[in-house]
Amino acid sequence: MAQQGQGGIDPAVLDDIINRLLEFRQARPAKQVQLMESEIRQLCAVSREIFLRQPNLLELEAPIKICGDIHGQYSDLLRLFEYGGFPPNANYLFLGDYVDRGRQSLETICLLLAYKIKYPENFFLLRGNHECASINRIYGFYDECKRRFNVRLWKTFTDCFNCLPVAALIDDKILCMHGGLSPDLTHLDQIRNIPRPTDVPDSGLLCDLLWSDPGRDVKGWGMNDRGVSYTFGSDKVAEFLTKHDMDLVCRAHQVVEDGYEFFADRQLVTIFSAPNYCGEFDNAGAMMSVDESLMCSFQILKPAERKSRFGSTMDKTVEDKRLALKLFKLERNCELDIVVSC
């Protein structure tokens, strides 16, 4: 059963905010949702306190649905909820990068924060590299806040983002973060002990958790073409999982054609949940569902037809890809089998 907790916000006000954000489903695409600055500030303040009350390394239980980058693609966020179930009908973990690039970062982050406040023990948000002032100052969120409200509101979001948790562990077997592994990560307590609130540094553990990438031609640790953090080889994934008795690393941070992509003999999966990213890529978006037995399945969102109203192509743009990912707590070297059902 979902646990509700509105904290320092009137439950009726919170429900009204959520209802206005969800009314977008009946509106024309890209229509802005009318929210007051005071309401948004309250969402930031209350969710900030919840983030700080909960650990930096969240310890979660299946069943849960995991989503990757959203990047202000609000229509696609709603499509994910249409298919996976609107909270509290399903538990969710988002891996970061809610803002920038897309046209509706404010609607996106406000709905996510509102759900976090309403269902604090069932709805979880991790920090991405774009939940950082030096990045979203450049890639769109600052400009959206300034255009629709003011710079002070952007600074309020920055203070909230600085309190987001950075990793999650599902049933002790699936480690989730936005970016990837770090050469500095030797014990999970290092993640738990990262202080908050904090900006994202230019190097070190926190930077790597939000910025690093797997590299197919890399052995060990390599240079990252982004100019930040590292790339890591399949050997480092296997070494990490063996040392910590885990089965899977789940991360986001990179556009992948099918919305999800495996690495390191299916010991790592990248999930990206913004289809037709920026209107420039022909990628699908994906969401990974983990059931109580730790069997994982992927729901694929193909790019919607641009001229259609929201939801009109829903049945045609969703696929199931069920992955028999046997992550039993005492069984390693998992056998994987993919069954496609459209």
Tokens linked to 222: 């390599």
Q: Which of 71, 130, 178, 253 is catalytic?
A: 130
Query: Residue 39, Cβ neighbours under 10 Å: how many?
Result: 18
Helix ranges (DSSP H) in the chain: 11-22, 37-53, 74-84, 105-118, 133-136, 141-148, 151-161, 189-192, 205-211, 234-244
Fill in the amino acid letter for 170. Answer: I
Told to judge if 130 belongs to the known catalytic residues of this protein, a careful annotator would answer yes
Give the CA distances from residue 295 to residues 113, 136, 149, 284, in Å, rounded to whole numbers and listed in that order: 28, 35, 44, 22
**Under 8 Å between Cβ of 254 and 272:** yes
* Nearest alpha-carbon partner for 134 in 164, 101, 158, 156: 158
Which residues are 270's β-sheet partners? 251, 261
Q: Report the C-alpha gap between 184 and 193 in whole angstroms.
A: 13
- Classify residue 3 by burial, with Cβ atoms within 10 Å: 0-12, 13-18, 19+: exposed
Annotated catalytic residues are 130
